[in-house]
Structure 1
Amino acid sequence: MGTRSRANYLAAGAADVAVELKDAGLLEAVRNQWQNAVTRRTYITGGQGSRHQDEAFGGDWVLPPDRAYSETCAGIGSVMVAWRLLLADGDPRCADLIERTLFNVVATSPAADGRSFFYANTLHRRELGTSPDTDRPSLRAAASQRAPWFEVSCCPTNVARTLASLTAYVATSDDEGLQLHQYMPGTVEHRRADGRHLCVTVATDYPRDGEIRVRIDSDDEDPWSLSLRVPGWATRGATLTVDGDTRPVAPGVVTERRSWRRGDEVVLSLPMAPRFTYPDSRIDAVRGCVAVERGPLVLALESTDVPGVETVDELHIDASRPPRLTDGRVTVRCRRGRPDDGDWPYRTDPRESAPVLAAEPDEVPLVEYHAWANRGPSTMRVWLPTLREIKEEAP
């Protein structure tokens, strides 16, 4: 288990100690460390770490997608730290990161049939690769496909215990009422210290659908608060409906306090249209690229979905047209292109350095990142290069 995983486990333990001993200084140190890791050393998937040597974090903004190590165990450690900070101060950004990491790192590791797994979770696969030998352990960082077993196999047990404990991340309670942090169908019950019983039932197909219906299934004459997290990605179009009254809500936490009656319902509607996401300009490795997300899910371009293309590196995305959702699949407009081979890979004329593009664009479907590599060897990338317009006149 690498440096990143152990660093996250240590931070989780430090947060526990800080809360237990009421050590504000220690808790602030953990919070600052977490903030720095999230804002400067975390991939769009929630995965952490680009250094293969010692499985270390790497420097600020050093987040190359093709060299992403982003091992599953480090993602789980990140969830553990974020959960403790959420319990300490209720910061919804912690729940946002938990959601992102669960859907795009933890869910990516196991294959659809549960018989193989990724140790590291790259964001860019340049070569088709080969199917792993089922009779011997695979090398962690060299695996091009999920493997039945790796030299170090901490991931399966770590994923198993995380999946078994998922319900613990859904909700919290305090003297004011209930707080919902993650959305999945089920019932949340809480017996308060004074004996009062609170119960809500959540009905949703999230993240396939953005509607979260919360029904009150307990009676209480005294008012109590129901709080729901509005994810950070839901910057436009999120609404909350209570008693037929609908109002817009912003990312963060929205709270309704009243004397609830059995059968009362609160509906949180989140905008699920696919969207482009642009990287910070300081991340050199993906400058000039865009990613596509839908809700909390990161999407990827996989060669399996593009007949006649061996490597997705031939494709350039037209970012002037937003991604579309058609028959349950998100599609983007791409054009195929390749640079002309020459004696020297550098040019003084920008027109000569631009790829030769196909005359007509293609409508290309994307796959949810957690589902890639389930259909045999393929190439894949999350960050897609945009088309460059080269003017005819000399610079």
Structure 2
Amino acid sequence: MSTAAPTTGPGLSPARPTESATGVSTPLGLDRARITGGFWLDRQQAVSTGIRAGYEQLERAGNLQNLRIAAGQAEGEAVGPIFADSDVYKWLEAVAWELAREPDDDLLALQREVTAVVAAAQQEDGYLDSVVQVRLGPEGRYTDLPWSHEHYCAGHLIQAAVAQVRCTGDRELLEVAVRLADHLVATFGEDRRHDVDGHPVIEMALVELYRETGNRDYLELARYFVDARGHGLMASYGKEPAYFSDRVPVREATTVEGHAVRAVYLTAGATDLAAETGDESLLTTLDGQFANMWAAKTYVTGGFGSRWDYEAFGEPYELTPDRAYAETCASIGVVQWAWRMLLATGRPSYGDAIERILFNGFLAGVSLGGAEYFYVNPLQLRGGSTPDENRSPAHGRRGWFACACCPPNVMRTMASLAGLLASRSEGALEVHQYATASLDGGGLAVDVVTDYPWTPEIRLTVTAVDDPATELRLRVPAWATGATVSVRGEERPATPGGYATVSADWRVGDEVVLTLPLQVRTVTAHPRVDAVRGCVALERGPLVYTFEHADQPAGVELDDIALLPGTARAGEHRSDLLAGVTPLNARGRHLTAPDEYAAWPWPTDGGSPRVGEPVDLVAVPYYAWANREIDAMRVWVPLAPDGTPA
């Protein structure tokens, strides 16, 4: 077993590159970055209630009982999907990050209880998958890798184990993970069983286990799993390869395709591999894939996946708002990928992507109360929509799902969120996301105070100095026209789409103020997005806004509105609305359909123009919709020139 020295230094980070990894930045981790107030602390505290409720949800759904049966501690049949264990592991990971954020003896006791059950369920040779063990027996192992998710479950167990040892020092789950990883090393590879799992995540997990233990066998197996995909292994099972990201090798692909979560978990793992092996060619390829996805397969909200069928990306510019799938897990997966690309390249566009996703596509996936979730995040819900399929947003957010991948994924992301705020590099502290927080790295410690995203100022105060020459690099979002940065009272412009670099002979008490103007922006989609051609969406700062039925005048149907250009303005901040938001006010028209559209056949000559009376409209942040009632909502609205019919 070949080894390399594990990483030393700050450690409480989900992705912690080794000292030998290529890349420009190292994450601070939760031991050097802590959210202390404001918008994101409110959201973390809300979701912490969901984390605590997660144990009961897993108990009620039977996930924990499956493990007890596999361990010989109970009798019965396995219930739920074949990947039921993965929800337990994501919850355990969430608990670990939550304990680093806010120690809690009761939560720690639950972690240790569940970890003991997992350890007891593991078989002698290291194999562990409770549903396969109980439902199929030893002969059922790895017989249907496209759908069995055995490596997927293993990957989430490994990620939970790494988080647990980093955050609490408990090693029991890490020992389980090492035995399971050793079993995989002995079973799979070019000179062993030549196969891959239908659902990536094992790639990220194995690289992180290498980072934690120094065992290069895990890095080499991750390399094998990345490179083996794209050569028709899924077709050998009679499966369609594009769905499984198995149509084109990772190193040759120009875009992402197929099942959105599978695709971006794979690219995130490939990014980890590129960083640890110094593979610049692979990193360049992944950079191109991300750019293609961001340009042609990303919703304005930072949602991903336009098809309910196969939870898939769809074709370029296939971005219908009302049928958007935009699974919460897909947004989380892209954040994981973008963060790894940011650490590897230092490119601020990845920080911009993370910001858009976090404030919109991700945050919409959890209620303001923190314990109800959306699986699917459309950009439009028509009035009177029927709640049919279990995942349909017409039900409203739900406490759990039959396929419950999203809730614990939200939990682990929110609990570890401070790890995305900042990084350090040679002679610099880099701040990528803005929250009231304490940050310490690169020779400098600062306290950040801000009411962002509601107000434009981010104020950073130096609290400790190890190296007075340290540079402070502050990401300036591409939308932030007119941004400024000041230090010791001297103000200068800050260029959008880059980093404002501030140098000074730092002293404790020095203050830097970054101002990001929060003008209301009216945006349009790419002309090839047929579904919203002629429509606009409203943004302010990092937030995408939506029109929700509850905020409109009586009698106004959102399916029949059009915006008058140039009328959207920010209103007064309202602490009594949706846990505190700044709404937007706009003028529009409430359109009426001419009589000839009442029934088929519709007119072939274009018919009469639609007309409508002016009406006052209100938009709220997209992330907050469906927290009062489940009714009509839309992000994209037709634009109606003032004085002319829409």
User: Normalising by structure 2, what TM-score?
Assistant: 0.56
> How far off is 1:327 after superposition?
1.7
List per-residue Cα deviations over 1:9-45 (Å, max 9, x = no partner).
1000000101111111111111111111011000000
CA–CA separation in structure 1 for the residues paired with 2:304 and 2:608? 33
The partner residue of 1:240 within 473, 485, 508 is: 485
Q: Give the secondary structure class of the aligned counterpart of 1:34.
A: helix
Secondary structure of 1:80's match? helix
Aligned length: 376
In structure 2, the residue matched to 1:189 is 440
Contact kept, 8 Å, 1:130 with 1:145, in 2: the verdict is: no
Residues 544 and 621 in structure 2, CA contact (< 8 A), matched pair in contact too: yes
AA matched with 1:122: P
Match of 1:341 in 2: 595
Give, as a single letter, the amino acid of the residue that structure 2 aligns with 1:86.
Answer: L
Question: Structure 1's 221 and 198: CA in aligned 2 closer, same or farther, altered over 3 A?
Answer: closer
Please point out which of 338, 356, 375 is paired with 1:82: 338
Q: Which residue of 1 aligns with 2:304?
A: 48
CA distance in 1, matches of 2:456, 2:425: 27
For 2:319 and 2:485, how far apart are their aligned partners in 1?
36
> Which amino acid counterpart does residue 634 of structure 2 have in structure 1?
R
1:354 partnered with 2:599: no
Shift of residue 209 of structure 1? Answer: 1.0
Matched with 2:38 is none
Shift of 1:353: 4.2
1:10 and 2:266 are equivalent in the alignment: yes
State the partner residue of 1:175.
426
**Paired residue for 1:215, among 456, 461, 464?**
461
CA distance in 2 between counterparts of 1:284 and 1:188 reads 44
Q: Does 1:330 align with 2:581?
A: no
Instruction: Specify every segment of 5 or more residues in structure 2 that has no aligned partner in the other structure, as ranges.
Output: 1-198, 200-257, 574-582
Contact kept, 8 Å, 2:520 with 2:568, in 1: the verdict is yes
Residue identity opposite 2:584 in structure 1: V
Shift in Å, 1:310? 6.0
SS at 1:217 equivalent: strand
> What residue number does 2:282 align with?
26
Q: Could you give the per-residue CA deviations for residues 222-265 of structure 1, whole angstroms, max 9, x where no partner exists?
A: 4110000001111x221111121111211111101222111111
1:364 and 2:617 correspond: yes
**Contact 2:563-2:586 within 8 A present in 1 as well:** yes
2:439 aligned with 1:149: no
Report the counterpart of residue 526 of structure 2 in structure 1: 280
Quote the Cα distance in structure 2 between the aligned partners of 1:95 and 1:174.
16
Question: Structure 1: which 5+ runs fail to align?
Answer: 133-137
- How far residue 107 of structure 1 moved from its aligned partner, in angstroms, is 1.0
For 2:603 and 2:446, how far apart are their aligned partners in 1? 62
Q: CA separation in 2, counterparts of 1:390 and 1:371?
A: 33
Determine the C-alpha separation between the residues in 1 that align with 2:368 and 2:431: 28
Instruction: State the Cα RMSD in Å.
Output: 2.0
- In structure 2, distance between residues paired with 1:390 and 1:324: 20
CA contact (8 A) 2:305 2:326 kept: yes
1:362 and 1:243 map into 2 onto residues whose CA distance is 47
CA contact (8 A) 1:276 1:322 kept: no
| Alpha-carbon spacing, 1:112–1:334, altered in 2? closer, same or farther (3 Å) | same
Q: Aligned equivalents of 2:642 and 2:617: distance in 1?
A: 21
TM-score, normalising length: structure 1: 0.90
For 2:492, give the aligned amino acid: R
Q: Would the alpha carbon gap of residues 221 and 181 (structure 1) be closer, same or farther in structure 2, given more than 3 Å must change?
A: closer
- Cα distance between partner residues in 2 of 1:222 and 1:266: 15
Instruction: Tell me how far apart the structure 1 counterparts of residues 339 and 516 of structure 2 sit (CA, whole Å).
Output: 23
| Partner Cα separation in structure 1 for residue 294 and residue 547 of structure 2 | 25
Corresponding residue number in structure 1 for 2:216: none
Residues 129 and 144 in structure 1, CA contact (< 8 A), matched pair in contact too: no
Q: Which structure has the highest helix share of the two?
A: 2
Amino acid at match of 2:469: P
Distance 2:393 2:453 in 1: 32
More displaced stretch, 163-172 vs 138-147: 138-147
Q: Secondary structure at the match of 1:65?
A: coil
Distance 1:356 1:39 in 2: 35
